Amino acid sequence: MASTNRTEHLGLCSWLETDKPKRTDFVSDNAIIDSVLGLHVANSDIHLDADEKARVGEPIKLSTLYGTGSDTSLRLNFSPKLVIAFKKNSPMYESSGNNIKINAAVATPGGSTGGVTVSGSLISFTQSASPSDGKLYNLSEQYAEYTVVSFR
């Protein structure tokens, strides 16, 4: 006789001492287990994919950029959702004659404060040669050191 009882949640065989297990019981139980576990493992609502695991495990990447004196860029191995860049040991902005010299910027793939842009995994930094609308972007001054905080 096959299994008299079944488990509560998956309906697997739960034999009594007097039951005589049959091969079909094991095949049926294995099919149930495979189906339930397969659906569970494939459920993206409760499991993280590789990109999500990286965001959780390492949500921020700190980089150092050394200015070149002209526009420059930094390529990451991921596409950041948010970037904050600033010149070390400098105010966020400072007066430069009738203009404002901007030493820090915030950027997202959808837009920025100016001076830094994000396109996929590429972050671009602007070094203004002359003012535009009273602004000088100073995000790649020659020999200057910048900190770039990139959020996954």
Residues 57 and 98 in one domain: yes
> Alpha helix (H) ranges present in the chain?
23-42, 50-57
Give the CATH number of the domain where residue 85 resides: 2.60.120
Rounded CA-CA distance 104/127 in Å is 12
* pTM more than 0.85: no
Residues 130 and 97 in one domain: yes
Residues 90 and 61 in one domain: yes
Q: 103-131, pLDDT tens digit by residue? A: 999 999 999 999 999 999 999 999 999 99
Residues 33 and 98 in one domain: no
Domain count across the chain:
2
In this structure, are residues 125 and 71 in contact, taking their beta carbons and an 8 Å threshold? yes
127-139 burial string, b = 16+ CB within 10 Å, else e? Answer: bbeeeeeebbbbb
In this structure, are residues 2 and 14 in contact, taking their beta carbons and an 8 Å threshold? no
Q: Which has the closest alpha carbon to 123: 79, 70, 64, 66?
A: 79
Q: 18-60, pLDDT tens digit by residue? A: 888 889 989 999 999 999 988 888 887 788 787 777 777 788 9
Residues 76 and 139 in one domain: yes
pLDDT of residue 1: 57
Residues 32 and 66 in one domain: no
pLDDT of residue 78: 92
Residues 55 and 111 in one domain: yes
- Domain containing 22: what range? 5-42
In this structure, are residues 122 and 143 in contact, taking their beta carbons and an 8 Å threshold? no
Residues 55 and 18 in one domain: no
**Which residue reads 């010149």 in tokens?**
87
Residues 104 and 142 in one domain: yes
What's the Cα-to-Cα distance from 123 to each of 15, 39, 48, 79, 109, rounded to whole Å? Answer: 63, 39, 26, 9, 10
Residues 111 and 137 in one domain: yes
Residues 59 and 35 in one domain: no
